[in-house]
Every structure is written in structure tokens, then in C-alpha cells.
Chains A and B, each alone.
Chain A
Amino acid sequence: MSDATAPAGRGPLATLLASAAKSPLVLLALIWLLFILIVAIFAPWVAPMDYQEIDLLARLAPPSWSARGFHLLGTDHLGRDLASRLVMAVQLSMLVAIFGTVIGAIIGVTIGFVAARFRGWVDDLVMVFVDFQASMPFVIIALAVLAVTGTGNMLLFILLIGFQGWEKYARITRGMTLSAVNHGYALSVRLLGGGTLRVYLRHILPNIFAGLIVQMSINFPETVILETSMSFLGVGIQPPNASLGNLLSYGRDYLLNAWWIAVAPGVVIFLTTLSMSIVGDWLRDELDPVTRRSA
């Protein structure tokens, strides 16, 4: 796979980075994603103030650098510092997106493995569910669940977001596993006495990993948009917790006199999903042997 085409003495990661350095767009996208990641990880230290601290004397203050406070983006209707809320929103939204993507991958890969391992009616049943999921917008299913459970539970919301895209992981895992099983290596491990779990986790999973990474890079921006949309609609992350979506929704009420409240989180979402799409396209070209051959 990717090792075979890498120049001698360099690992696949070094090869990837060398190719990224050649495209300024990919480089910019990677830098933005790194920046967002750093902000997300160190949010409490990056945030200039306590994001939930209420200062009723400084409600709806414009951006200012006065002695009263360092409000880069001004304050909201409760006098909370908006720049700090934005930083914490980046943290929460990225957390939900990363967890969501990983949960979806784990669920999908497991189901794909099960379908490929047992074939027959299990496989048929899985494919019926995959087709069903593929034909329904995920947000509709999420809304149906949230109507019953209520919208206050953040853990449940993250889990729900995680299910987004499981059918795509299941489909590609099943397909790639079926073709891998017929390859010599899986069969020889089996003949040498390796158990099913060992064959799937130690031998097949690493071989389909590149395809999964590409799928995750496609899934990630979709997860960001799903979470922020639902938070925007008021059925996702609820205040006082800050998500990029509910910040934007809050800013909508102040477009007349404080447009930056809505625009700042919107720009962060846009740049993040755009960067991830650019990186995803690039990863697909680099990692996917099929498109690389035809290119």
C-alpha cells in the first residue's frame, strides 16, 4: 500500500507531509485545523475571561479594550465575554465532532465486520438497515429520538450525533473486508491458527485503515455541520454551555447592532469544514489506491 510507493528511508507519514508541503491550499488548511485543535485543547487558558461569568453592569458591550474589561468581541445580554464563549464553543463543538466521528466509525466498522464475517441472512439484514439509513436524512431520525428523550442531555446528544454516517463506515468496511478475506494473508493467518478476532483486528483492520481514514475525513465536517445546525435550531447543545451553533443562533437576534456576534462563530465553522474538506480531498488522493491509480 502506501509503504510500497514511499521513497526508501521515509515512513508513510513523512511522505504525506512532504506532499502537503507542495500544495499551499492543503498547507493552509492543515495550519487552520492545527490552530483550532490547539484552541480546543487549551480553551480554558486561551479564553481571556471566565466564559460563564455574568457581569450585569456590562451587558451588550461593544468590542473594547478598556480598563473595565478586555472584550475582544464585546459581551452578550448577561455581560458574559463573547470571545471567551467563542473559545469554549470551539472546544465543545470540536469535542462533539471528534467523539461523534470516532463513535460512528467504531459502530460502523463493527457492523461491517459482522456482516462480512457471517454473510447470509445477517449480511442481508445489515444491508437492509444500511439502505434504510442511507435513504433517510439523519437529522430527521435524530429529531424523532430527541422529541422523546428531551433536549437537555448532552451525553445522549453526543452519542446520537455519533450514529451519523455509521452506514457509510459499515458499507465500506464490509466491502473492503470481503475483498481482504479472499487475499492470501487473511487466509494464511487463519490456517496458522489465528482466531477470528485476531484476523479481523490485527490483520484486516490495518489493511482497510487508509479507506477508513478517508471516510472519517469526509464524515468529520458533516458531523460539525450536524451538531452546529442542531444547536442552532435549539435542539442540540443547550445554554449555558456554548456551542458554535447556539452562539450563532444567539447572534441572530443582534444582527442590527452587533453583527460580529453571529459572524464570528459562523466564520470559524466555515473555515473548519472547508479546511477539513480540502484535507479530506487531498488524503483521498494520497491514500486511496484506486483513485491514485486512475489519476
Chain B
Amino acid sequence: MNTGYLIQKVLRALVTLALVVTFIFIVLRVTGDPVSAMLPDDTDPAIIEQMREDWGLNQPLWKQYVDYWAGIARGDLGTSFLDGRPATAKILERIPKTLQLTITSFAFMLLVGAPAGIIAALSRNRWPDRTIMTISVSGFSLPNFFLGILLILVFSVWLRLLPSASSGDLKSMIMPVFTLGTAGAGVIARFVRSSLLEVLGKQYVRAAIARGMPLHQVVLRVALPNAAIPTITIVGFMIGTLIAGSIVTETIFSWPGVGRLLITSVTARDLAVVQAGVMMIAATMIVANLLVDLAYFVIDPRIRFGSSGERQ
């Protein structure tokens, strides 16, 4: 077994996590004084001094850095200055709503994108292929905020079929999921198509066809498992797109998730909540990337038994 690969990937995830924490620390403490950034210019100097003391800002920088890590270890990322509640709690209570939206959209992306890509590859250069690829290119050129607005215009304003804001029932999920998933479905369709076409041109696939294996079996048993390997990479990448897209989608549809909280916190300069949100998203991304690497390890025997330290 190639355990070097696993150790390398886990180490890299840990290094990235440390980089994120350091990056946020630098942005918060070095690029400007968070207290004077938050308070109006004419604030009493005594109050500023008091806040600097409360936040430990008059300590030496290395001490602040160590304290920062200690705080993270305790799960303490400060309190929201808007309502005085712990920032982590404010983020955590929003997570289920965001997961509901992103996981459904992810399923939508795969269930629409993968079959579309397979159909396109099998009908290469004929009309189903051309139609699917045209829709796919338009799908990821259409900014999701514009798609969301168009959906609201057509289905809420004109047809009065769907609610324009989240109300908790299933009907209010249709438009947000479509908004968030369409671009990704386009990317996946394109990617599945090209990797399937590549595999279909390989000797072993042609050999299977030549031996008289029915085409649907060739595709399902031989070509697809091999085409799936490069597709996993793009799926890992899509998670980042989903998180970024959920910020926009949640804002358009008044969806009470982490993304919308992040935007209102940035506008209000509620630093503790912003840093807790960014850290939570970063940790999610790092874990997702690690899972993708592990999936490679499980699926691809070349990695499981091959040489370690290879970059892709």
C-alpha cells in the first residue's frame, strides 16, 4: 500500500489549515486596527483604549498570535458586536440551511450534468451533442445572480407559480437549487463528455467493442468507471463553486444560511462573525479536498500501489 500518498495529503491539509488561520490573523491584526475600523471616528479615546485591552490588542504580536490559536482550540472566535452572541454559535445555527441548499444543488448538478455529458459523448457532433454543449456553455456563462433574478421575474412575478423568498416548504427550494446548480451541471456535462470521449478512444474499449460486447455494456462497465476518475477532480472543485455560489443564491432568495449571514456581517463589519464564517468555509473546503484525494486512493489502483509524491 502506498501510505506515503496518504500521509502527504493529510500533511498538506494541515499546512493549508494553518495558512488559513495565519492569513486571517494577518488580515485582521496587521493590515489595520480592527477597533478603529469598527468604531466611528469621533469615539472617545478611552473607549477605544478599553476595547483594545478587552481584545488583547496591546499585547505583542506573537502573543496575540498564540492567543489566537488558543482561542480557536477552545472554539472561541470572539463575539458578534451586533448582538454580543458568540460568533461560532451564530455561524453554526445557519449551517443546516446552507447544507440543505448546497447538497440538493450538488445532487441536481450530478443528476443533470453527468447523464447530459454521457448522451453528448455518445452522440458526438450530432444534434443532441451540439444542443447539450450549447446549453452547457450558456449555463456557465450566465452569472447565477442574473439567473436567479430571471427565475424570480418569470416564475414569481409573471406566472405567480413559485415564492421568491425562502419560506421553508419544498416549493421555495426549486428556484434556489436551479440557480445554484445550473452552472455546475454545465461544467460537469462538459467534463464528463470529454473524459468519456477520451476513454472511448482507448485500445481496451475498442477491443471490447470488437469482441462483440453490446455498446451499453461497454459504456457502463468499461468506459464509465475509467472516465469517473478525472471527473472526481472536477467534483472536488465544484464544492468551492457551490460555496461561493451559495452566498449569491442565499442573498437573492432571502435564504437564512451562512452565505447571507457572511454578506450582512461584511457590510456591518462584524469582524468576529466574518472570521468565524471564513474559517468554517476554509475548513470545509480543506476537508472536501482531502476526501477527494482519499476517493482517488480508493478508486484508482495506480495511486494506491504506485509511486508516492507524484503531483497529479
Give A contacts to B, CB under 8 Å. Answer: 128-129, 131-132, 135-141, 143-151, 221, 225, 228-229, 232-235, 245, 248-249, 251-252, 255-256, 259, 262-263, 266, 269-270, 273-274, 277-278
> Could you tell me if B153 and A255 are in contact, using CB atoms closer than 8 angstroms?
yes
Q: How far is the CB of B286 from chain A (nearest CB, A)?
A: 6
> Could you tell me if B152 and A255 are in contact, using CB atoms closer than 8 angstroms?
yes
Task: Tally B residues with Cβ within 8 Å of A.
Answer: 51
Q: Say which residue of B27, B144, B240, B248 sits within 8 Å of A135 (CB atoms).
A: B240
Query: Given contacts A136-B20, A252-B149, are A145 and B27 in contact (CB under 8 A)?
Result: yes
A139's closest neighbor in chain B, by CB? B244
> Could you tell me if B16 and A143 are in contact, using CB atoms closer than 8 angstroms?
no
Chain A residue numbers with a CB within 8 Å of B31 are: 145, 148-149
A131 vs B290: C-alpha distance when bound (angstroms):
12
A274 vs B142: C-alpha distance when bound (angstroms):
8
Q: A149-B37, A235-B267, A273-B143 are in contact. List 8 more A-B contacts (CB 8 A).
A: A135-B286, A137-B241, A147-B274, A148-B31, A148-B269, A233-B263, A263-B149, A270-B143
Q: List 22 A-B contacts (CB under 8 A).
A: A137-B241, A137-B244, A144-B24, A144-B27, A144-B274, A144-B278, A145-B27, A146-B266, A147-B270, A147-B275, A149-B31, A228-B145, A235-B267, A252-B149, A259-B157, A262-B153, A266-B150, A269-B146, A270-B141, A274-B137, A274-B142, A278-B137
A214 vs B15: C-alpha distance when bound (angstroms):
31
Which secondary structure dominates chain A's binding surface? helix
> Could you tell me if B262 and A143 are in contact, using CB atoms closer than 8 angstroms?
yes
Most central of A139, A235, A277 by chain B CB within 10 Å: A139
A271's closest neighbor in chain B, by CB? B141
Q: Does B218 contact A (CB under 8 A)?
A: no
Give B contacts to A, CB under 8 Å. Answer: 12, 15-16, 19-20, 23-24, 27-28, 31-32, 34, 37, 137-138, 140-146, 149-150, 152-153, 157, 240-241, 243-244, 247-248, 251-252, 262-263, 265-267, 269-271, 274-275, 278, 281-282, 285-286, 289
Chain A residue numbers with a CB within 8 Å of B142 are: 270, 273-274
Chain B residue numbers with a CB within 8 Å of A225 are: 143
Chain A residue numbers with a CB within 8 Å of B240 are: 135-137
A248 vs B142: C-alpha distance when bound (angstroms):
14
Q: How far is the CB of A155 from chain B (nearest CB, A)?
A: 15
Q: How far is the CB of B79 from chain A (nearest CB, A)?
A: 15
Q: How far is the CB of A73 from chain B (nearest CB, A)?
A: 16
Most central of A136, A249, A274 by chain B CB within 10 Å: A136
A7 vs B19: C-alpha distance when bound (angstroms):
51
Q: How far is the CB of A17 from chain B (nearest CB, A)?
A: 23
> Could you tell me if A139 and B157 are in contact, using CB atoms closer than 8 angstroms?
no
Q: How far is the CB of B175 from chain A (nearest CB, A)?
A: 13
> Could you tell me if A147 and B146 are in contact, using CB atoms closer than 8 angstroms?
no
A141 vs B278: C-alpha distance when bound (angstroms):
8
> Could you tell me if B27 and A151 are in contact, using CB atoms closer than 8 angstroms?
no
Chain B residue numbers with a CB within 8 Å of A148 are: 27-28, 31-32, 34, 37, 269, 271
Chain A residue numbers with a CB within 8 Å of B262 are: 143
Chain B residue numbers with a CB within 8 Å of A135 are: 16, 240, 285-286, 289
Q: Say which residue of A128, A140, A266 sits within 8 Å of B149 (CB atoms).
A: A266
Q: How far is the CB of A158 from chain B (nearest CB, A)?
A: 17
Chain A residue numbers with a CB within 8 Å of B141 are: 221, 270, 273-274, 277
Q: How far is the CB of A117 from chain B (nearest CB, A)?
A: 19
A269's closest neighbor in chain B, by CB? B143
A74 vs B271: C-alpha distance when bound (angstroms):
40
Most central of B28, B145, B240, B269 by chain A CB within 10 Å: B145
Query: Given contacts A225-B143, A266-B149, A274-B141, are A150 and B278 in contact (CB under 8 A)?
Result: no
A255 vs B156: C-alpha distance when bound (angstroms):
10
Most central of B16, B31, B157 by chain A CB within 10 Å: B16
> Could you tell me if A140 and B278 are in contact, using CB atoms closer than 8 angstroms?
yes
Chain A residue numbers with a CB within 8 Å of B24 are: 144
A139 vs B144: C-alpha distance when bound (angstroms):
14
Query: Given contacts A143-B274, A144-B274, A277-B137, are A270 and B286 in contact (CB under 8 A)?
Result: no
> Could you tell me if A150 and B37 are in contact, using CB atoms closer than 8 angstroms?
yes
Task: Please give me the 8 A-B residue pairs with the lowest Cβ-Cβ distance, nearest first.
Answer: A266-B146, A137-B244, A274-B141, A147-B274, A137-B240, A273-B141, A147-B266, A144-B278
Q: How far is the CB of B278 from chain A (nearest CB, A)?
A: 5
Chain A residue numbers with a CB within 8 Å of B285 are: 135-137
A270 vs B146: C-alpha distance when bound (angstroms):
8
Chain B residue numbers with a CB within 8 Å of A270 are: 141-143, 146
> Could you tell me if B153 and A136 are in contact, using CB atoms closer than 8 angstroms?
no
A138's closest neighbor in chain B, by CB? B244
A136 vs B241: C-alpha distance when bound (angstroms):
9
A281's closest neighbor in chain B, by CB? B137
> Could you tell me if B153 and A151 are in contact, using CB atoms closer than 8 angstroms?
no
A76 vs B205: C-alpha distance when bound (angstroms):
61
Q: How far is the CB of A79 from chain B (nearest CB, A)?
A: 23
Q: Say which residue of B15, B16, B138, B266 sits within 8 Å of A274 (CB atoms).
A: B138
A256 vs B248: C-alpha distance when bound (angstroms):
21
Query: Given contacts A139-B244, A140-B244, A273-B141, are A248 and B19 in contact (CB under 8 A)?
Result: no
> Could you tell me if B248 and A229 are in contact, using CB atoms closer than 8 angstroms?
yes
A263 vs B269: C-alpha distance when bound (angstroms):
31
